[in-house]
Amino acid sequence: MGSFLTARQISANEYKDFRTFLEKASGIVLGENKQYLITSRLNRLMDAEGVDRFATLTQKITTNKALRDKVLDAMTTNETSWFRDRYPFEMLKKDVFPEIAAQRASQLKIWSAASSTGQEAYSISMTIQEYMMSRPGSLPSRIEIVGTDISTSVVADARKGCYDGLSMARGLSPERKKQFFKQRPGEDVWELREDIRKRVVFRELNLMSSYALLGKFDIIFCRNVLIYFSSALKREILEKIAGVLKPNGYLFLGGSESTANYTDRFEMIKLPAGMLYKLRS
């Protein structure tokens, strides 16, 4: 009610300037007539910061990095769930891990490129655990999963590896919940098992920046984030991803995303469970 009463108006010019800021800072393209998205997501922050007008906010974030991060946190959509869409994790077990096991490499590196609050990266870690239990010694001894996101707050949450009952209910089977989590006594907080958590490191990374410091990956998950970007940026990001995949490396995209129309660096592979992309040699 309070936020409804204090909801701010955004003028056409303020909307244009804010859209320009958001696209430059994060790649996120807001369509026409998405004023409500800005006002609803930023109203509370503007109250807390004592900022009245959007013009003032857009001006302030050019010099105030902490405020800029808060605005980006508020404007990103962090929707995620455990084992989202299921098929990518089935394909890891059925198709990708057996191929990696056969290569007898000493290291396996996986990147969750828009990891939000960590469910995707940790689902990969649980999948690895399940695979290793059924085929001991088959995967490389050094395994690292890197989770990255532009939003400081989701990266901080992901690092904790703790979730409330509501997030736990999204995609996690009772068996996995029992096997991989422990409830804090008397609290609505579920802690992920340490060995599953320790395989993953999280860091802030804007997909518009350089990936050079990340190293090379066998598998990249870049799911449900390209949808927010322009065609030019999708192309640029897919090319950069190709640059940090090892030869024959695999890319998983979200259900409504594809490399078609952007780059020919990947071969689309259709398997019974779903689709994935392999770097062309």
Query: In the complex, which residues of this chain contact ligand SAM (CB under 6 A)?
Result: 26-28, 76-80, 84, 114, 116, 120, 149-151, 154, 206-208, 223-225, 228, 254
Q: How far is the CB of 170 from ligand SAM (least distance, A)?
A: 10
* Buried-exposed string 257-271: b where 16+ CB fall within 10 A, e elsewhere: bbbeebbebbeeeee
Nearer to ligand SAM among residue 139 and residue 208 (C-beta): 208
Nearer to ligand SAM among residue 202 and residue 228 (C-beta): 228
For the purposes of burial, counting CB atoms within 10 Å of the CB of 74, is it exposed (0-12), middle (13-18) or buried (19 or more)?
Answer: middle
Q: How far is the CB of 4 from ligand SAM (least distance, A)?
A: 26
Give the span between the Cα atoms of 56 and 46, in whole angstroms: 10
Q: How far is the CB of 137 from ligand SAM (least distance, A)?
A: 30
Q: How far is the CB of 52 from ligand SAM (least distance, A)?
A: 27
Q: How far is the CB of 175 from ligand SAM (least distance, A)?
A: 21
Nearer to ligand SAM among residue 8 and residue 23 (C-beta): 23
Nearer to ligand SAM among residue 56 and residue 152 (C-beta): 152
Q: How far is the CB of 263 from ligand SAM (least distance, A)?
A: 18
Q: How far is the CB of 105 from ligand SAM (least distance, A)?
A: 25
Nearer to ligand SAM among residue 83 and residue 180 (C-beta): 83
